[in-house]
């Protein structure tokens, strides 16, 4: 809801205190309608604008690479003021269809109501060679960037600015919320880094590049990938070769995301006699991951408990 500032001023002088209260409550609503591609961005939008109506197109139990552009999603996008996604081609298979079918002109441009988190941070794992044999790789780098807490800080700043641009009447609210979030988050980072000390130097086998940012941050090594090629599910042949390779390596565990099939990880971890760990991919991925802080806390505690057998 937006009211021209001169209207508020005129009415305020005429109607007095009641109009000031009215203007105040309208301003405090900050009611952008936000369509998030993944739950992590819905959670971040909610931190910056608790009163906005925020909708997530996917859950942590869904593969964000592959989403059906079903009518329900199109109608949600039609009403959005702001679309917030990871970018870096994560949603390239479905987001453009939604944008086009929604006919919502507000969310077509990255200068207006379309926000890609990857536009505001460096991505890792940029593809060096592509081609028909390379698999379904992310050419713009790894888009699963919500699992690096420092990148989240940069993105929160950019997102608050975007909200302020789209809804200038509430600009101060978004900026204040961002700065409060940044203070809390910074303090959390220190706590998490202390808690995660015992995880440094672990060797894990992962499934896809989902957790690369997290593992890099925590100093954990990835010594194998259950996918033979990016985007290709584990085959028995690939698993056998991983097993062979792992015999000469110290492997501490196998991890996979809340939306991925556990079968391959299960088989390999049993053969290796190491823990098999499901990690929440996003907010809502398990019962502790009710917001971004809960998600990070749960990722670290789950790894501590299952892989190192400790917790703090
Ligand atoms: Zn991916």
pLDDT in 10s for each residue of the chain, 312 residues: 333 333 232 233 333 334 344 444 444 455 899 999 999 999 999 999 999 999 999 999 999 999 999 999 999 999 999 999 999 999 999 999 999 999 999 999 999 999 999 999 999 988 765 565 556 567 789 999 999 999 999 999 999 999 999 999 999 999 999 999 999 999 999 999 999 999 999 999 999 999 999 999 999 999 999 999 988 999 999 999 999 999 999 999 999 999 999 999 999 999 999 999 999 999 999 999 999 999 999 999 999 999 888 765
C-alpha 92 – ligand 1 centre gap (Å): 11
Rounded Cα distance, 273 and 219, in Å:
23
pLDDT score, position 311? 61
Q: Which residues of 253-290 are buried (b: 16+ CB within 10 A; e: fewer)?
A: bbbbbbbbeeebbebbbeebebbbbbbbbbbbbbeebe
Cα 95 to Cα 115: distance, rounded to the nearest angstrom: 12
Residue 146 neighbours by CB under 8 Å, 6+ apart: 38, 40, 41, 86, 117, 152, 213, 282
Taking the centre of ligand 1 as the mean of its atom positions, its distance from the CA of residue 91, in whole angstroms, is 10
Is-contact 45 24, C-beta < 8 A? no
Go through the domains of the chain in sequence order and give each one's CATH number.
31-118+135-191 (3.40.50.1980), 196-308 (3.40.50.1980)
Separation between Cα atoms, residue 150 and residue 274, nearest integer Å: 31
pLDDT score for 37 = 98
Q: Nearest CA to 212 among 263, 143, 152?
A: 143
22 CA from centroid of ligand 1 (Å): 46
| Residues 292, 43: Cα–Cα separation, whole Å | 7
**Ligand 1 geometric centre to CA of 159 (Å):** 22
Element (H, E) at 34: strand 33-36
| Distance from residue 230's CA to the centre of ligand 1 (Å) | 8
How many A from CA of 90 to the centre of ligand 1?
6
Cα of 306 from ligand 1 centre, angstroms: 24
**255 alpha carbon – ligand 1 mean position (Å):** 15
Q: Which of 117, 128, 56, 46 is nearest to 85 (CA)?
A: 117
Distance 210 CA to ligand 1 centre (A): 6
How far, in Å, from the CA of 89 to the mean position of ligand 1?
9
Q: How far is the CA of 173 from the centre of ligand 1 (A)?
A: 34
Ligand 1 centroid to 287 CA: how many Å?
24
pLDDT for the residue 231: 87
| CA–CA separation, 207 and 126 (whole Å) | 18
CB 123 within 8 A of CB 88: yes
Cα 21 to ligand 1 centre (Å): 48
Distance (angstroms) between ligand 1 centre and the Cα of 20 equals 49
Distance 207 CA to ligand 1 centre (A): 10
DSSP structure class, residue 84: E
Structure confidence at residue 117 (pLDDT):
98
Ligand 1 centroid, distance to 37 Cα (angstroms): 14
The residues with which 253 forms a beta bridge, in sequence order, are: 204
Distance 16 CA to ligand 1 centre (A): 56
- Are 141 and 126 in contact by the 8 Å Cβ rule? The answer is yes
* C-alpha 216 – ligand 1 centre gap (Å): 16
User: Among the residues of the chain, which ranges form H helices?
Assistant: 5-15, 17-29, 39-48, 71-78, 95-102, 149-166, 171-195, 212-218, 236-246, 263-272, 292-303
Please provide residue 83's backbone torsions phi and psi, each rounded to the nearest 5 degrees. -115, 125
Q: Which of 86, 81, 88, 140 is nearest to 108 (CA)?
A: 81
Q: How far is the CA of 193 from the centre of ligand 1 (A)?
A: 25
Q: Token digits for 159?
A: 């997102």
Q: Which residues contact residue 293 at a Cβ distance below 8 angstroms, ignoring those fewer than 6 apart?
A: 184, 185, 188
């Amino acid at each position: 809801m937006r009211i021209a500032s001169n209207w508020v001023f005129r009415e305020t002088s005429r109607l007095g205190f009641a109009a000031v209260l009215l203007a105040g409550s309208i301003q405090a609503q900050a009611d952008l309608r936000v369509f998030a591609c993944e739950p992590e961005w819905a959670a971040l939008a909610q931190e910056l604008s608790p009163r906005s109506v925020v909708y997530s197109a996917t859950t942590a139990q869904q593969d964000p690479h592959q989403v059906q552009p079903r009518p329900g999603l199109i109608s949600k996008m039609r009403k959005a003021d702001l679309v917030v996604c990871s970018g870096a081609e994560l949603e390239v298979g479905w987001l453009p269809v939604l944008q086009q079918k929604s006919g919502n002109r507000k969310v077509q441009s990255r200068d207006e109501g379309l926000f890609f988190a990857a536009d505001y941070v460096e991505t890792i794992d940029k593809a060096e060679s592509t081609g028909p044999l390379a698999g379904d790789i992310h050419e713009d780098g790894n888009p699963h960037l919500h699992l690096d807490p420092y990148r989240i800080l940069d993105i929160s700043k950019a997102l608050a600015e975007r909200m302020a641009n789209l809804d200038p009447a509430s600009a101060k609210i978004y900026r204040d919320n961002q700065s409060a979030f940044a203070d809390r988050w910074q303090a959390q980072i220190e706590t998490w880094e202390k808690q995660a000390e015992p995880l440094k130097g672990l060797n894990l086998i992962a499934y896809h590049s989902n957790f690369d940012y997290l593992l890099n941050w925590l100093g954990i090594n990835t010594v194998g990938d259950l996918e033979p090629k990016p985007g290709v599910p584990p085959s028995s042949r690939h698993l056998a070769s991983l097993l062979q390779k792992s015999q000469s390596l110290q492997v501490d565990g196998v991890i996979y995301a809340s939306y991925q099939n556990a079968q391959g990880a299960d088989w390999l971890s049993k053969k290796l006699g190491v823990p098999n760990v499901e990690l929440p991919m996003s907010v809502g991925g398990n019962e502790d991951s009710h917001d971004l802080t809960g998600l990070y806390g749960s990722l670290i505690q789950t790894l501590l408990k299952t892989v190192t057998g400790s917790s703090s």
